[in-house]
Amino acid sequence: MGVFERVARPAILAASRSEALRRAAERLPVTRSVVHRFVPGETVGDALNAVEQLRMSGRMVSIDYLGEDVTDADAAIATVDAYLHLLDALGRRDESTARARPLEVSLKLSALGQALPRDGEKIALENAHAICERALQVGVWVTVDAEDHTTTDSTLSIVRDLRTEFGWLGTVLQSYLKRTHADCEDFAKSGARIRLCKGAYDEPASVAYRDPNDVTDSYLRCLRVLMAGSGYPMVASHDPQIIEAVGAMARENRRGDEDFEYQMLYSIRDAEQRRLADAGNQVRVYVPFGTQWYGYFVRRLAERPANLTFFLRALAERSR
C-alpha cells in the first residue's frame, strides 16, 4: 500500500460516517449514476434482474438489502419486512435442492436493531430469527455480515443462538482482526459456514492488523483452519494471491469443488468470476441493493485504489 492509500483510506472511511457528505452525495445525479458500478439498483426488481444475469452465467448469489446502524425499532422492523419480501420473491424463482444453495441473503445485525439502547441484542436476535424462518421455508441460505470490531462479540453470540435451530446459517469473519484465527478454530469445529474476508472498517492497531501484507498472511492462516475443519469455507476475496492458494489448500484437505466456494463483490473482477465458474468452481456474487447505498459505496472506494480511480475518472467524464 502506497503513501496515498495509507493516508486516503482512513479519510474515505471517515467520509462514510458523515451525514452531511451522505446527503450531498445522494443529491448528486453524477454520483448516483456511478454507484451502479457497485450497486445494481434500489428495488427488489433491480436486484432480481442482476440475479437473473448472474445465474445465467453459472454463478450463485448473496443479496444484501443495504442498511446499518438502525437507531429506532420501527426502522428495524422495516428492514425485516424488506427481507421477507425479498425472500418471497427469491422463493418463487428457485426450487433447487443442491448442497450449495444458489440463492442466499446477507444481513447486518445493526440494521435489525442490534445497536438500540434498550434490548438491542434481543431485538436483533428476534428479527434475524424471523428472517431465518422465512428463508428456511423458501429454501434460501442466510449469512450474517460482520461489522466493526465493537459488534463482534454480540454478533457471534447471536449467530451461535440462531445456529442451534438453523444449522445452515453462515457468518462472516474478518482476517484483519487479531482474534479471528481463534474464532475460525471455534467455528470450523462446529461445522459452520464461514465467509472469510479481509475487512473493510478502519480498526485500531490494538485489535487489527494494519499492514496489508499482515492482513493477507492472517487470511491465509485462517483459511487453512477453515479448510481443515468440518465446515463450509466461503473464500471472499479478490486478491490473486489468495485465489491462487485456494486450490492447493482444498486438495490438501481432500475437499472437492462442492465443499467450498469463492465469493466476490458485484461487478468487481467480473472476468475472474467467470473464469472460476467456467472452470467448475462454485462462485457466489455479493449483490447489494437499496436506497441506503452510501456507506457501502464509500467502503468499496476505500478498499482498493482502483475503485477510487474509477470513481474519480467517471466523475470527471460526466462533469465535462
Q: How far apart are CA 85 and CA 83, in angstroms?
A: 5
Does residue 37 carry a catalytic annotation? Answer: no
Q: What's the average model confidence in pLDDT over 233-242?
A: 96
Does residue 118 carry a catalytic annotation? Answer: no
Q: Residue 320: its pLDDT value, please?
A: 47
Q: Residue 93: its pLDDT value, please?
A: 64
The region of weakest confidence among 29-43, 48-62, 118-132 is 29-43
Pick the catalytic residue from 9, 59, 195, 284. Answer: 195
Name which of 72, 51, 70, 71 is nearest 60 in CA terms: 51
All residues at 6 or more sequence positions from 207 whose CB lies less than 8 Å from its CB, including other chains: 149, 177, 178, 179
The region of weakest confidence among 3-17, 99-113, 220-234 is 3-17
Longest CA–CA separation in the chain, Å: 57
Tell me 82's DSSP state. Answer: H
**Per-residue pLDDT reduced to its tens digit, 3-44:** 444 545 565 555 545 566 555 555 556 555 667 778 898 899
Give the model's confidence band at 270: pLDDT under 50 very low, under 70 low, under 90 confident, else very high: very high
Give a three-class secondary structure readout of 172-186. EEECCECCHHHHHHH
Q: Residue 319: its pLDDT value, please?
A: 45
Q: What's the average model confidence in pLDDT over 57-69?
A: 92
Task: Name the β-bridge partners of 103.
Answer: 61
- The answer to whether residue 231 scores a pLDDT higher than 70 is yes
- The answer to whether residue 120 scores a pLDDT higher than 80 is yes
Name which of 93, 78, 154, 95 is nearest 122 in CA terms: 154
Q: How far apart are CA 17 and CA 147, in angstroms?
A: 13
3-state secondary structure of 164: coil
Q: How far apart are CA 40 and CA 266, in angstroms?
A: 8
- The answer to whether residue 131 scores a pLDDT higher than 60 is yes
Q: What's the average model confidence in pLDDT over 180-184?
A: 98
Most confident of 33-37, 73-77, 289-293, 295-299: 73-77
All residues at 6 or more sequence positions from 80 whose CB lies less than 8 Å from its CB, including other chains: 112, 127, 130, 131
Give the model's confidence band at 205: pLDDT under 50 very low, under 70 low, under 90 confident, else very high: very high
Pairwise pLDDT comparison (264 vs 35), residue with the higher score? 264
The region of weakest confidence among 9-13, 135-139, 182-186, 202-206 is 9-13
Read off the amino acid at residue 3.
V
Pick the catalytic residue from 59, 64, 145, 224. Answer: 145
Percent with pLDDT over 70 in the chain = 80
Average predicted confidence (pLDDT) for the chain: 87
Q: How far apart are CA 241 and CA 246, in angstroms?
A: 9
Measured CA to CA in angstroms, residue 132 lies from 111, 169, 214 at distances of 15, 8, 35
**How would you classify residue 90: left for phi > 0, otherwise alpha for psi between -120 and 50, otherwise beta?**
alpha
What are 317's three cell numbers?
467524464
Tell me 208's DSSP state. Answer: B
Q: What's the average model confidence in pLDDT over 130-135?
A: 98
In contact, 233 and 244? CB cutoff 8 Å: no
Q: How many beta carbons lie within 10 A of that of residue 195, not counting itself?
A: 26
The three-point CA angle 8-14-16 to 5° equals: 110
Q: Residue 297: its pLDDT value, please?
A: 75
